Chains A and B, each alone.
Chain A
Amino acid sequence: MSPEYTKPVPVPQPESDHYWEQAKSGKLVFQKCSDCDSVQFYPRILCVACSSRSLDWIESSGKGTLFTFAIAHVPPHPGFREDLPYITAIVELEQGVKMPSQVIGIEPDPDLLHIGMPLEVVFEEISESISLPKFRPAE
C-alpha cells in the first residue's frame, strides 16, 4: 500500500479471499448456487435463497447498470476529503446481483447520472493485494 493511501482497505476473510484475489487479477466474480441457481453478493458459506452450501464462483461480464447513487459533499472519513464530491453507487450487474461501488470517469453532477445508465467495471489498485472494482459509464 502506498503510504499516502488513507482510505479504509478491505480485510479479506476466508470466504472472500477468492473474490479479492480475482479482483486483483482484473476479474469480478460472485457466487451462484448450484442447487437453486440464485446469484449473490457478497460471498458467504451458504446460499441466502435456499440455505444450500453448494456454491460456485462465476465471472461477471463486468457490465451493469446504475441502480442508485448519491454524491458525497462531506467526507464520512478523513481519507475521502480530497475526493469530494464523489459518487457512491449501487450497481446492478448483468447477471442480476447488486453491489456497492463508486462511479468514476464522469462529473459528479446529478443531471448527468441516470438510474439505469450502462456501466462497466474498472479496477483501481489500492495496495499490493487489493484492487477495488469501480464502475465507469460504458460505451
Chain B
Amino acid sequence: MPNLQRLKNLSGSASIVGVAESDSLGKVPEKSPLALHSEAALNALNDAGLQLSEVDALFTAGWSTLDVAEYLGIQPRFTDSTSVGGSSFVIHLAHAMAAIAAGYCEVALITHGQSGRSDRAPIPRNPGAPMTQYEYPYGIIGPPISYAMACRRYMHEYGEDRTRQAMAEIAVSTRKWANLNPKAYFHDTPLSFDDYHDSRWVAWPFHLVDCCLVTDAGAAIVVTTPERAKNSRKGGISVLGAGEGHDHSMISQMPDLTRAFGRNTGPQALEMAGVKHSDLDLTMIYDSFTYTVLVTLENLGFCPPGEGPDFLADQVSAPGGSFPLNTNGGGLSYTHPGMYGIFTIVEAVRQLRGEAGERQIDKHELALAHGTGGLLSSTGTVVLGRS
C-alpha cells in the first residue's frame, strides 16, 4: 500500500514550468504524430524558458520514448513509456516528481502527439489477448460500447432519467466553456439541451454528443525542481498530490461497473496534498464521455455514489457556476486526439497561472486533474497548486 507519510514528504517536490499544445489542433493531416509531439515539446520548453538540450528525462505513451527521444535528438537519463491509456500522462507527472526527488533527473519532458482524426490505422493487438479473444468477437470493441455498458448499469442502479439529465448537464456546460476557448474545436458552435437530446445514437445510451471528439493534436509538459522553477520564465506550479492505478483491462472484467479506480487515486492525491474537495478551485476530469465525468466525480469523492446527478444539477459546472469543471471545453468540445489526459494538466496550469483569457476563473490557487485510461481501467489523479 502507498506510504502516505512518505508521500506527504514528497508533496511539492517538483514544479511544472512549461505547458503547451502543438501549433495547431483539430484537423492536422499534414503533420505526423511525432511532429505533433515535437511541436508541443518545443512550445512547452519555450513556455518554460528552457532548451531542449537541458531535458534529461522523457515520458510518453502511445509511442515509445525510444522513438520520441530519437526524433527530438535527445538522450534522456530517465525514461518512462508507461502506457495505460489516456491517463498515462497524469501518471507520468507523478513519476517525474518521484524521479526528480530521487535525483535521477532535473528537467523532465512529458509529450503526447496523436493523429486520431487523420490516422485511423487501428492499434494492433495480440489476437490471443483476452480482450481480442473474448470481447472483440461480439463487437465489444473500443471505448463507446464499453463505456455505454457501464453507463447502462449505472442507470439501473441510480435511475435512468436522472443519469440522462446529468449527462446533458455535462455536455451543455462543457460546450459553454469551449465557446470561450479560441482553440476549441467547437468554439463557434453552441449546444442546447434540445440539441443534446436530438443528437443521434452512437452506442445507446450514448448520443453522439455524449462522446468525445476525435482530433489531431499534441501537448507537452516540462517539470523540474522547485529551485529551478523559481528562475523559470513564468514560475512553477507545484505538484502537491498524486495517485495512480488500475483494476482491469476489458470492461467485462471491471470489478464494479460504477466504481472506477479513482475511488483510490482521488482520496490519495488529496490526502498527500493535505487538502479537501472544498478547497479546490478547478476540477479537470478526462471526459471521454459525459458519463465518465459523472461517475468519476463520485469515484473521487466529490459526492456519494449515485448523487452525481444532484451534484451537477442546474449548470453549476458552466462558466459563472459554483463548480468550474473542464474549463478548456474538454475532450467533448475542445480536443481529443485519443489519449487526452495531458490536456487536463495543460489547462489546470494555465488557470492556476491566471492566463486562461476569457474563461479565466476568479479564484485560482488549487486544481485537481484526473485522467482515465483504457475502458474505465486506469486512473491518475494529481493535485496542483500555485507555488
Contact = CB atoms under 8 A, between A and B. Distances in A.
A70 B203 contact: yes
A96 B348 CA distance: 44
A76 B141 contact: yes
A102 interface: yes
Nearest to B250: A100
A74 B128 contact: no
A53 interface: no
A123 interface: no
A110 B132 contact: no
Interface string B140-152: 1110110011111
A4 to B, nearest CB: 16
Contacts of B135: 100
Contact of B139 (A16, A41, A86): A86
A101 B138 contact: yes
A90 interface: yes
A76 B257 contact: no
Contacts of B127: 8, 11
Contact of B133 (A7, A11, A115): A11
Interface in B141-165: 141-142, 144-145, 148-153, 156
Contacts of B152: 68-70, 115
Interface in A1-57: 7-13, 16, 41-42
Interface residues on B, range: 20 to 34
A14 to B, nearest CB: 9
A120 to B, nearest CB: 17
Interface in A100-122: 100-102, 110, 115
A8 B140 CA distance: 10
B200 to A, nearest CB: 7
Contacts of A88: 138-140, 145, 149
A74 B251 CA distance: 19
Contact of B201 (A41, A71, A86): A71
A83 interface: yes
26 contacts: A7-B139, A8-B136, A9-B137, A10-B134, A10-B137, A11-B132, A12-B128, A13-B133, A16-B133, A42-B130, A42-B133, A42-B134, A68-B153, A69-B152, A70-B148, A70-B149, A70-B152, A71-B204, A72-B139, A73-B201, A74-B202, A79-B139, A80-B139, A100-B134, A110-B204, A110-B205
Given A10-B137, A13-B133, 8 more contacts: A8-B137, A68-B156, A69-B149, A70-B206, A71-B203, A73-B204, A76-B141, A100-B252
Interface of B: 127-128, 130, 132-142, 144-145, 148-153, 156, 200-206, 250-252, 257
7 closest residue pairs by CB, A with B:
A70-B148, A76-B141, A100-B252, A71-B204, A68-B153, A8-B136, A11-B127
